[in-house]
Every structure is written in C-alpha cells, then in structure tokens.
C-alpha cells in the first residue's frame, strides 16, 4: 500500500492541530484549534474542508465543547448546552453529510452514557480519536476496492480534492489513485482545477506531485476535449452526500464531468465511505446546496476579475443523478447505484 503521510487533523492531547488548507501550495502551516467555536470557524472558513475531514473535525469540536461545559450544574444542563453547540457546528457547512453524521454520533454517545460529566467528556475525546483512525482505515479499504477498476496504464480524471487533506488521511478518490499506483499500474491523473476555490489545482495537484504520481492539471472546461481525444479512461470523484438511490452531491462541476463521461462512454465512479451516504433520503432532490461568498468567484489572488455590478451565483455543490454513475466505491465494495440502498441498509 502506498502510504501518504498527510494528516490534516491531529489531536495533541488537549487541542487539535489542523493543516491550514487555505494557504497550500504557497505555504505549509498548521493552526491550533482550542475551542469548539474555533473549530466551527475553521470549518466555515475552509481551513479544514472535504466531507470526511469536516466530519472528524466536528467530532473533535464536540469533544472540546464538552470540556467547556464542565461547569454545568447537572448532566441535563450539560447535554442541553452540548446539543445547542452541536447544532451550531452542523450549520457551518450544510451539504456534506459527514459533519451531521459525526456530530450526531457524538451527541448520541453523550446522551447514552450513564456516568459523570467528566467521564462523558473523556469518552467523547476517545470517540473522536477513534473516528479519526477509522476514517483512515476506511479510506484504505476504499482504495483497495477501487484499484480493481483501474486498468494498467489508465488515465484517471478527478475533480476537486478527495485526497488525504479532505479526509483524516489517505483520501477517497485519491485513495483509489494511491492504491492503483501502489500496484504499479503506471497510471496517470488528470486533475480538474475546480473553480472557484481551485481545490484541484492547489490541493490535489500538491498531494499527487508530492507522491510522485504523474499528474496533469487542466481547467474545468477542458474535460470534454480530453475525453473526446480518448485521453481519459475513467473518472473517479469523491462525494459529499449520497442519497440511497446513488444520486451524489459533490463539488460544483462534478455533474458536468459526469455528463461528458456518459457522452463518451467513460466509466464514472464515486469513491466515498458509508458516512457520506445519507440514509434518510431516497434521492438527491432535496440535498441542501451550500451557497458561498460571491468573492470566491469575483476574485482571484485578491484581485477582482470582473466588472463591478455583474450578478454572481456561487453554489458550492451540484448533484449528479445516479443514471450517470457507474458505481459507488465504498469500504465494503463497489456497488451500482441500484445496489447501494440494499448494501447500506443491510449494513454489509
């Protein structure tokens, strides 16, 4: 297995260190996150981003918040404060379901325990650490399953960053790429730039170049051109929220890539853990789409790129209908969208 040593979330014993993803590749630095409020701000400002990464970060946010509530007069007040804070954490990024999944898991754990407030706090910290370790293991399993669909010498297109930085480590879509590379498949990667925040250019390219995996950066509008030239063999992307029928919310632009792949008969895979599957929704119709700051579109490198007064809309995600998805690569195997519900609900 090809081991990436990037760990975007580290627990020091009393606080979290996050790799600051807003400054890569110009700079590499970590930020100390000592309170739940600081964690909520870090998620909102995308110091940490990527669905599984914000899930694990949210879990640590709850663990740190619990410590701030140790002065509660009884466990009822403690749980009330914890739940309020959990709602706030979940509101920071509405689309990626992993955040809700992880924060709710923590709150449910706290509610289920029949022990002192300080003991609950200790268990929340332990559980957050377990979620971090589990996520890395899960991604390695996704990588192993996904490597099966990557042919020798394949050119893989990916969109946004679904790498180690977007998870606790190793990555989902990049986990597949790392595992295929480790099997000596002589692969090459095409990374979409991913406007407006350029996660493909800044983060995916950075991760893959550091790993020595041959990578070509293209702008988002180029994917159809390269598909038509026969230069792309397979598309693998991550997922932020997957409905039971396989409809998948992922970074804006993913839908366009899927349409182009379908038109060129190129297989299109989503690589994501079960924690990205929202088993409360049958289809992707009602997935909330985060609308972000308009300056993400109007500015590049602190410089406006358009005339004042132009209208801007900035949805951060789109939903790719299941009909365009060949398979969902999970930690338990690869499923056609029509098989996903059965696999998830039977807990395979």
Q: According to the binding rule CB under 6 A, does residue 9 interact with ligand MRU? A: no
Main-chain dihedrals φ then ψ at residue 17, nearest 5 degrees = -110, 125
Does position 138 bind ligand MRU by CB under 6 A?
no
Contacts (CB under 6 A) with ligand MRU, residues 193-222 = 199
The footprint of ligand MRU on this chain (CB under 6 A) covers a number of residues equal to 18
Burial class for 73, CB neighbours closer than 10 Å (0-12, 13-18, 19+): exposed
Tokens 């029509």 belong to 338
Q: Does 166 bind ligand MRU (CB under 6 A)?
A: yes
Residue bearing tokens 């996903």 = 340
Minimum CB separation from ligand MRU for residue 146, in Å?
13
Decide if 302 is catalytic: no
Closest separation in Å from C-beta 14 to ligand MRU: 26
| Residue 172 in the binding site for ligand MRU (CB under 6 A) | yes
Nearer to ligand MRU, 290 or 339 (CB): 290
Backbone dihedral region for residue 184 (phi beyond 0: left; psi -120 to 50: alpha; all else: beta): left
Least gap, CB of 249 to ligand MRU (angstroms): 8
Q: Site for ligand MRU (CB under 6 A): which residue of 67, 141, 241, 251?
A: 251
How far, CA to CA in Å, does 90 sit from each of 55, 59, 117, 273?
A: 9, 10, 22, 19
What's the min distance (Å) between Cβ of 328 and ligand MRU?
13
- For Cα atoms 339, 106, 64, give the angle at the middle one, nearest 5 degrees: 140
Does position 238 bind ligand MRU by CB under 6 A?
yes
Element housing 10 (H / E): strand 9-11
DSSP state of 151: P
Footprint on residues 41-70 left by ligand MRU (CB under 6 A): 49-52
Of 188, 100, 172, 109, the residue nearest 139 (C-alpha) = 172
C-beta of 67 vs 93, nearer to ligand MRU: 93
Task: Let me know how long the chain is.
Answer: 348
> In the complex, which residues of this chain contact ligand MRU (CB under 6 A)?
49-52, 160-162, 166-167, 172, 199, 237-240, 250-251, 316
């Amino acid at each position: 297995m090809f081991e990436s040593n990037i760990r975007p979330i580290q627990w020091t014993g009393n606080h979290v260190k996050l790799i600051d993803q807003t400054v890569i590749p110009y700079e590499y630095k970590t930020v100390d996150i000592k309170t739940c409020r600081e964690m909520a701000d870090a998620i909102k400002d995308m110091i940490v981003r990527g669905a599984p990464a914000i899930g694990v970060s949210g879990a640590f946010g709850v663990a740190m918040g619990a410590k701030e509530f140790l002065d509660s007069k009884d466990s009822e007040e403690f749980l009330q404060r914890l739940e309020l804070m959990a709602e706030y954490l979940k509101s920071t990024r509405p689309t990626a379901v992993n955040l809700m999944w992880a924060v709710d898991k923590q709150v449910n754990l706290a509610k289920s325990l029949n022990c002192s407030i300080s003991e609950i706090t200790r268990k929340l910290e332990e559980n957050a650490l377990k979620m971090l370790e589990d996520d890395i293991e899960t991604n390695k399993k996704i990588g192993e399953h996904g490597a099966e669909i990557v042919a020798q010498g394949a050119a893989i297109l990916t969109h946004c960053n679904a790498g180690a930085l977007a998870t606790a480590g190793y990555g989902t879509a990049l986990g597949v790429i790392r595992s295929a590379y480790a099997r000596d498949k002589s692969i090459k990667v095409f990374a979409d730039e991913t406007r407006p925040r350029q996660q493909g250019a800044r983060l995916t390219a950075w991760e893959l170049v550091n790993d020595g995996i041959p990578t070509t950066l293209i702008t988002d509008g180029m994917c159809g051109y390269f598909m038509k030239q026969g230069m792309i063999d397979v598309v693998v992307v991550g997922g932020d929220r997957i409905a039971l029928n396989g409809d998948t919310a992922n970074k804006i632009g993913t839908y366009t890539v899927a349409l182009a792949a379908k038109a060129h008969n190129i297989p299109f895979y989503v690589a994501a853990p079960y924690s990205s599957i929202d088993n409360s929704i049958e289809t992707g119709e009602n997935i909330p789409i985060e609308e972000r700051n308009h300056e993400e579109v109007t500015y590049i490198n602190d410089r406006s790129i358009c005339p004042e007064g132009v209208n801007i809309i900035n949805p951060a995600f789109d939903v790719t209908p299941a009909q365009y998805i060949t398979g969902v690569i999970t930690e338990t195997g690869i499923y056609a969208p029509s098989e996903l519900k059965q696999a998830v609900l039977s807990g395979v």
